[in-house]
Structure 1
Amino acid sequence: MKTQTVNTNKKGLKNIFLLFLIVVITFIAYSNSFDCSFHFDDYDNIVNNKSIQDLNDFDSWWNFSPNRRVSMFTFVVNYHFSQEDVFTYHLVNFIIHLLTSALIFFFVLKLFETPVLKDYKTLKEIKLLAFFTAVIFAVNPLGTQSVTYIIQRQNALATMFYIAAILVYLKLRINSFNSIRKGFLAFVLIVFSFLAFFSKENAYTLQIMLLSVEFFLFRSGKIFSNLKKRNVLFLGAGLILIAGFVIYWFSFSVFKPLPPNQAMGNAEVITSYNYFLTQLSVIPKYLQMIVVPVNQNIDHDIALKTSFADIGVLAGLSMVLALLFLVYYFYKRNRLLSFGIIWFFIAISIEASIIPIQDVFFEHRTYLPSIGIILAVLLILSNYLFDKHQKLLIGVLLSIVLLSSYMTFNRNKVWQDEISLWTDAVAKSPNKPRPYVNLGNAYELKENWQKAIEFYSKSIELSDKYAIVYYNRANVYSKLGDFDNAIADYSKAVSISPGYGTAYYNRGLAYSRTYKHDLAVADYSKSIELNPEFYNAYYNRGLDYLALGNYHEAINDFDKSINNNPEFVIAYVNRGVAYLNLQQYDEAIADFDKAETIEPQAEMIYFNRGLAYQALENYRKAIEDFGKIISLNPNYTMAYFNRGNNYFVLGEYPNAIADYQTVIRLDPSITKAQENLNKALKLTTQ
């Protein structure tokens, strides 16, 4: 008994040491990733996503992405404590990745306790397989797109819970427990399953994977003969539970054809049929990148396949059929190898089958499927080398770990910022529009306007039907004050996408800057028609109505802006100006008073209220307001001029003279100040 305890302790210490090695090696590989910037979909889902930026706004974040509530909740908490500090996001992603790698280590160990595999390998070989499967997974460069790319925490989290659920299932099937503990573990299995499901949809394959675990690792004999054996009820109950979940959430709309995606350079509608053909052609690429992860790219240029006769489709189909044949062939000869291959196909089936997705290929889709392939490849190496060439085997595996770690470290350099990432993508996908767009975005954020225009223009050369590129380039032209080119690009954007509300809005801004107020009003009105809740459009339309002298319409629009945002200072000021022009001075002063309570340092408030008091012949109040402006800005020329005028009316000529002299000193071009000064001087001598 004592010897058994000692052996168990040694076994536990060895496992801890191996896990420690995994942590150290993985940390070194990812040590340069913790300051990598936000990228790509991070902006829509985190940085610019108001729905997840208030932990207390339950309805907003809970309903933002109903199928991914668990993973999105982690971003809500992350944002609550860190806002846009990337370090903590990367830290959480890294911890999830480490936990997943540790779970894979125990998962592989547990596989060899199953009835089919329990006498298959020596303990030393099992440890070697478990350790190297986990560590190669941990440092595989393909993992960077699920670890360093912050939003793909969704993928990593789903994988972590997926492996955890399978581990619990294996424990339930292998170990003997009393009914209470068995019930508790069954509950934990269900919890992990649903945590995986609500992290990302690719976890929906979990129950099929559990079925495969049962058939491949707990059954002897032929595949189909095992259906009648015991424990089918347990598995069936789980299947019914998951089937209920799938039926509840399932919608045939997932098979709905998707419009051509100009970002990818696709001219065809994406259907279940051509998406399936395309996936046949890319499955070999997924496999190649898992085994030999070279030429990584955030945005691979994969053409949509439309015919079975395509050589890429035929080659992919041949490989898929060959691998499925190997699953059958090795079922009796090498069950674990067979299981590793089928793992890949099950794990990738959601994203690589008949459910059309706009992006036909992404590296992060290999994160979960790669586990089976890594295990299968290591098993082949071990079978050939472990008994007779053990040192060579360990040397080969260590070389793979070192090379993978080096490649991961280098790949993380590419992920450092948006410019480095999309420069890499442009070099590797030179005929795809989207990398140029995103590189243009990156330069725009850095205020390198000419570079931004250069890359937006290159994207347009590749695809002139991509509305957002015209929109982005127009924004840059606007920032440069080139409103004619901006208007031309906004016009192109709305001709491609007539429902592009912000393009109408921004074109309205450009028209307003070029004093084409009627055209600006028309564009703001179209923007409001498309989105009645777009209150900035009401405000800016109000400004153009003001410029056109349509004061009542301006007031109506400023009313809407203020109702939406009662603290909108400038809306109060401009509504006050509209009232001022309508000679409704009391209403104007009320608006200026309200603006002052919100922003007491705003000069325009006092200037316009001073004019209102002046119109009401309340010269003392007018002088007081112009004086406040001068205390805020001693170089505000017109404040001196207007205060001088009010002093003049009150007969306080010395004060008026002092103000007029200041005006002339600050801006000699104001000839009226000289005229008034002369009058005041003349009156003081009488």
Structure 2
Amino acid sequence: MKLALAQHQQTWQLFSLFLMTVVCYFITLKAPFYLDDASSIYENVHRLGLPLLEVFNLYGLRGVAYASFALNYQVSGLDIAGFHLTNNAIHFFCAAFVYLLTKECCRAKQVSTAWLPFVVALVFVCHPLSSQAVTYIVQRIASLAGLFYFASLYFYLLTRQAHKSKEVLIYGFITGLFILLALFTKQNTVAIFLSIFLLEWLVLGALANKFKLVFVGFLGCLMLAALLVAFSESFQQGVLWLDAYTRETTEITRLAYFETQIRVVGEYIQRLFVPNSLQLEYTTPIADGLFTKVSGYIWLHVALLITAIYCVKKQPLISFGIFFYYTAQIVESSFIPIRDVAFDHRTYIPNFGLILAVVVAIYHAVKRFDIKPFIVVLSAMSIIAVYSSITIKRNALWLDPVAFYQYELAISTNKARVHNALAQLYMESEQWRKASEHFEQAVVLTDEPGMRALYISNYIAAVKNSGELEQAISLTQTYLPLVNSNEARKQLLTNLGFIYIQKREASNAFSAFKNVMTMDNRPPPNEANLGMALSLWALKRQSQAKIYLQRTISNDPENDYARQLLEKLKAQGF
């Protein structure tokens, strides 16, 4: 009878999680693509259309995530609702495994499973901080990694608690499969082995008698590593390889990145409790590595870690939650420099730990101080309602890209990518002056040479489209010396040539296109071939124009305009 009631309770609690997912995220089905969705999805269909195994091989340690994008594309094309439905489903299954994992942790520590796991999962599913990993399509990478991460830990607990060898084999195989899927979805999931260690130590209690042995072994490994560094040249080469492999950028030192992350993780914690002013991109300054400006955040982390250590024996689930939070961020928020220092989707997996720790702490406080149930229920419902409403409001903002980017810039204008994205939307609606203003800001703000060249090209195009041809020419001549890439210079000169054509200055157009053709041995942009043809035609050199029209058509057989011009030349006897 009790088992049947427990099964019934679990069923309706899981169904409630599904309903909460629908309530919070159904609105996202019409949210458009954003920023990195371009390079990963809708401008990447030539790869996503390949067989899934080829897609997996192309993307290495993110192969599973990109194979899922490919599957979406191959089933429903670029239908935005299909991508969002998949993301929403992943989020629900993540919440379901958070629920099941919490339930197994509670059983192992003889804590009531009636409501605690449900509350943890409910907060997880409706929390605004999770929305970026769900609504921002490309960040399925983070939520799918979370799904495999939580599923691995759940089945690991089942494996460790199984009594029959058949169950051990089945659960063990499933655990291994989910770990592999996690590792080939996103690199940060390598922290799963630390999470398993925490399960053994704080949930299963299996390391209690072996901890000293583990600690001695760890010290021994450190001493051995030190000896190898001192005496082994090949090992030193391996260390250099490891240094290169464990950094995305060389522009930030490891110490400066670590100091920056002390602040970033502190801000993550603040937003977990008070999720206001959420942003897609944060303008967190890079620290100097001297640790003089993060003392407040250091005390926050120290206080949490001291709490975790204090609770190891009396309330191990609180300790597990806090240690889980920090260890799950060890890849992206420690000593591995990444150019983009802060994104909310990076908290998708770690947040489970702090949510668990807080809910368990409240559970024990309620028991100890005999707080009346209706007060607890009312408080929990209020918190869920507030978080859900913020999530829905945040998701509603994603529906309107212009409003979304304006909101981002209202919080901080120091965002080159956001200025560029907003300007492109203004270009689509032919609001040239607004577009040029934001492209100009993008040029000023970016510190990436490759992106600066793109923003300059966009800026000049917007100015040209606004009818300010002289200003567009002046800007091109100003920015050309500042662009180092030949490909970018070719594009600027190609655009300059077309501006001269628009002004009916054929000689200047010819000079611009000639510079493109003779810059290096690599093929010019095909637009330059067409532009050269037009300028030669205007200069009454039709025979040479014919050659460049043929090149244009050879490179782009579907260029109808070039075909029409070529037919006219042939009709004139050329």
Correspondence list, 1:431-510, <5 A: 431-460=414-443, 466-499=452-485, 501-510=487-496
Cα distance in 2 for partners of 1:131, 1:257 equals: 38
Could you tell me which residue of structure 1 aligns to residue 44 of structure 2? 49
SS at match of 2:287: coil
Cα distance in 2 for partners of 1:216, 1:481 equals: 68
Question: How far is 1:558 from its partner?
Answer: 5.2
Could you tell me which residue of structure 2 aligns to residue 368 of structure 1? 349
The yes-or-no answer on 1:331 pairing with 2:336 is no
Cα 1:434–1:55 change in 2 (3 A) is closer
Cα distance in 2 for partners of 1:558, 1:350 equals: 53
> Whose radius of gyration is greater, 1 or 2?
1
Cα 1:211–1:460 change in 2 (3 A) is same
Bigger RCO (CA 8 Å, 6+ sep) = 2
Cα 1:113–1:496 change in 2 (3 A) is farther
Cα distance in 2 for partners of 1:563, 1:43 equals: 28
Match of residue 89, structure 2, among 86, 90, 95: 95
Could you tell me which residue of structure 1 aligns to residue 276 of structure 2? 294
Cα distance in 1 for partners of 2:191, 2:139 equals: 18
Query: Quick check: 2:491–2:525 contact (8 Å CA) kept in 1?
Result: no
Query: Quick check: 2:259–2:291 contact (8 Å CA) kept in 1?
Result: no
Query: Quick check: 1:155–1:200 contact (8 Å CA) kept in 2?
Result: yes
Could you tell me which residue of structure 2 aligns to residue 519 of structure 1? 511
Could you tell me which residue of structure 2 aligns to residue 157 of structure 1? 144
Match of residue 182, structure 2, among 196, 200, 204: 196
Query: Quick check: 1:90–1:150 contact (8 Å CA) kept in 2?
Result: yes
Cα distance in 1 for partners of 2:57, 2:483 equals: 27
Question: How far is 1:62 from its partner?
Answer: 4.1
Could you tell me which residue of structure 1 aligns to residue 125 of structure 2? 138
Letter in 1 for 2:390: M
Identity over the aligned pairs, expressed in percent? 25
Question: How far is 1:79 from its partner?
Answer: 1.8
Cα distance in 2 for partners of 1:226, 1:176 equals: 28
Give structure 2 stretches of 5+ with no counterpart.
Answer: 216-237, 501-505
Could you tell me which residue of structure 2 aligns to residue 654 of structure 1? none
Cα distance in 1 for partners of 2:518, 2:172 equals: 57
Could you tell me which residue of structure 2 aligns to residue 258 of structure 1? 249
Match of residue 274, structure 1, among 256, 276, 279: 256
Cα distance in 2 for partners of 1:551, 1:69 equals: 51
Question: How far is 1:611 from its partner?
Answer: 2.6
Cα distance in 1 for partners of 2:209, 2:497 equals: 71
The yes-or-no answer on 1:216 pairing with 2:216 is no
Cα deviation, 1:508-527, whole Å, max 9, x if unaligned, reads 23224313234322443367
Question: How far is 1:348 from its partner?
Answer: 1.1
Question: How far is 1:535 from its partner?
Answer: 4.3
Cα 1:377–1:50 change in 2 (3 A) is same
CA RMSD of aligned residues (A): 3.0
Cα distance in 2 for partners of 1:326, 1:356 equals: 28
Could you tell me which residue of structure 2 aligns to residue 71 of structure 1? 65
Query: Quick check: 2:29–2:85 contact (8 Å CA) kept in 1?
Result: yes
Match of residue 164, structure 2, among 177, 195, 199: 177
Cα distance in 2 for partners of 1:309, 1:284 equals: 14
Letter in 1 for 2:120: T
Letter in 2 for 1:29: C
Give structure 1 stretches of 5+ with no counterpart.
Answer: 1-5, 230-246, 260-268, 574-601, 616-686
Letter in 1 for 2:374: K
Question: How far is 1:153 from its partner?
Answer: 0.6
Letter in 2 for 1:505: Q
TM-score, scaled relative to structure 1: 0.72
Could you tell me which residue of structure 1 aligns to residue 292 of structure 2? 310
Query: Quick check: 2:21–2:91 contact (8 Å CA) kept in 1?
Result: no
Could you tell me which residue of structure 1 aligns to residue 361 of structure 2? 380
TM-score, scaled relative to structure 2: 0.86
Question: How far is 1:380 from its partner?
Answer: 1.3
Cα 1:225–1:34 change in 2 (3 A) is same
The yes-or-no answer on 1:610 pairing with 2:571 is yes
Query: Quick check: 2:529–2:551 contact (8 Å CA) kept in 1?
Result: yes
Letter in 2 for 1:162: Y
